[in-house]
């Protein structure tokens, strides 16, 4: 295996907690939950009324008028986050060789779902005879990756991963391995999602896993997940190259593990997540005692949280009581295909600042979730390394390991 090390030099985010890293960080560590009544669509006929929506995002201030005719919110979030990540990293592509040696690997669960929803309403409810001429490129899952490529001139490996709620962790992990193996020297990677559309909310309503109240991961009185929207991007670079150019090194990506449960399309299984975490630790060449924090998948459903708690205990054994756990979905909602990217940013910030984000809305310990939950208030502690979990419908698991370089 190549000895090349991979570091995070830039991060960017658009989320319900804030439309840039500074505001996101401030709200994240203060434990502010952005879950609120849905404002963007009429939810009078939907059982649940709350989500974590992106607010105060002024697309007209960020994109030219002609761009707005083509680039829609799902891609807008990704491009905006990528711009921030690139600016904060200071990375530049001064020649064709560097552009060819950079990858763009993005993620989404559903792509331009909101645009398709509007098209179907126009066709089937309003009996319109035509659709927008650009609806296909607007809504295709890889549009975010393509727009980032066109804006930056990066022309190395560019593609999109879609594995439901594990999409972003898969994308970031593949970008990490691409750099470590020597395929490329840098990558822009992350995910975006805009799931707040009428048909999608009705679909989630039918699954009966969405809370009508709020998201309380690992709490005994948890009542389900809450959807969120947004996007996040990271700039990854080979460590020596980043150091040579004086890049700000925020954290190291040390390991990646991925597995399939081969069990059930919606019901979680503990074995797959356990193997994914163990694979990630092995890939990172780290012992369990090195891990001080787990950014949990933590959806606040009964089945997921108890399963993940058991998986953490199985993986960490006697060290498990020393591993702090929180699910930041309690604040920014479950952003589906973007979840791993937003949570990667949260994990990088935790390692860089020495502050672990809280598990908001926590009210009562659950014996079935026997882990050290960071209840409601951030915890100041510098940890050596952290795990970020993503577990998806279909039994697809993706786990990242980050190391502090403070």
Is residue 390 within 8 Å of 340, Cβ to Cβ? yes
What does the H/E/C string look like for 348-406?
A: HHHHHHCEECCECCCCCECCCCCCEECECCCEECCCCEEEEEEEECCCEEEEEEEECCC
Give the Cα separation of 368 and 220 in Å (integer).
Answer: 8
| Other Cβ atoms closer than 10 A to 329 | 29
* Residue of 170, 297, 332, 369 with catalytic role: 297
Q: Is 155 a catalytic residue?
A: no
Is residue 10 within 8 Å of 85, Cβ to Cβ? yes
Q: Is 170 a catalytic residue?
A: no
CA 4-233-355 angle, 5° bins: 85
Q: Is 297 a catalytic residue?
A: yes
Across-strand partners of 253? 6, 402
| Other Cβ atoms closer than 10 A to 39 | 10
Across-strand partners of 403? 252, 385
Instruction: Of 398, 312, 402, 388, give the one whose Cα is nearest residue 351.
Output: 402
What does the H/E/C string look like for 245-288?
A: CCCCCCEEEEEEEEEECCCCCCCCCCHHHHHHHHHHHHHHCCCH
Give the Cα separation of 322 and 329 in Å (integer).
Answer: 22
* Residue of 170, 215, 332, 334 with catalytic role: 334
Which tokens is 98 given?
């560097």
* Residue of 165, 215, 332, 369 with catalytic role: 165
Give the Cα separation of 195 and 51 in Å (integer).
Answer: 10
Residues carrying an active site annotation: 165, 297, 334
């Amino acid at each position: 295996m190549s000895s090349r090390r991979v570091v995070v030099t830039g991060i960017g985010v658009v989320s319900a907690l804030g439309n840039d890293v500074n505001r996101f960080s401030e709200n994240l560590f203060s434990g502010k939950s952005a879950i609120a009544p849905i404002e963007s669509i009429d939810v009078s006929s939907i059982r649940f009324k709350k989500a974590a929506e992106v607010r105060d995002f002024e697309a007209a201030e960020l994109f030219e008028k002609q761009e707005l005719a083509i680039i829609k919110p799902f891609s807008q979030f990704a491009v905006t986050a990528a711009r921030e990540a690139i600016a904060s990293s200071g990375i530049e592509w001064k020649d064709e060789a560097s552009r060819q040696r950079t990858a763009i690997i993005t993620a989404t669960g559903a792509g331009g779902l909101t645009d398709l929803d509007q098209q179907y309403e126009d066709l089937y409810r309003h009996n319109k005879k035509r659709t927008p001429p650009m609806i296909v490129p607007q809504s295709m899952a890889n549009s975010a990756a393509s727009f980032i490529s066109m804006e930056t001139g990066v022309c190395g490996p560019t593609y999109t991963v879609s594995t439901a709620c594990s999409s972003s962790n898969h994308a970031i992990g593949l970008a990490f391995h691409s750099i470590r193996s020597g395929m490329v020297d840098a990558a822009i990677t992350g995910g975006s999602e805009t799931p707040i559309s009428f048909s999608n909310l009705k679909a989630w309503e039918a699954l009966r896993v969405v809370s009508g109240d709020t998201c309380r991961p690992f709490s005994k009185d948890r009542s389900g997940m809450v959807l969120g929207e947004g996007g996040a991007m990271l700039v990854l670079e080979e460590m020596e190259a980043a150091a040579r150019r004086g890049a700000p090194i925020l954290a190291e990506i040390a390991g990646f593990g991925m597995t399939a449960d081969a069990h059930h399309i919606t019901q979680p299984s503990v074995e797959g997540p356990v193997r994914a975490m163990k694979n990630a630790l092995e890939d990172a060449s780290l012992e369990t005692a090195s891990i001080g924090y787990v950014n949990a998948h933590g959806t606040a459903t009964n089945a997921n949280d108890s399963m993940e708690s058991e998986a953490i205990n199985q993986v960490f054994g006697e060290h498990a009581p020393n591993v702090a756990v929180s699910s930041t979905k309690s604040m920014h909602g479950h952003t589906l295909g973007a979840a791993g990217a937003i949570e990667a940013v949260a994990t990088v910030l935790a390692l860089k600042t020495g502050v672990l984000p809280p598990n908001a809305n926590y009210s009562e310990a659950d014996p079935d979730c026997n882990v050290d939950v960071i209840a409601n208030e951030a915890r100041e502690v510098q940890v050596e390394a952290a795990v970020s979990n993503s577990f998806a419908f279909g039994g697809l698991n993706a786990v990242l390991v980050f190391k502090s370089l403070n």
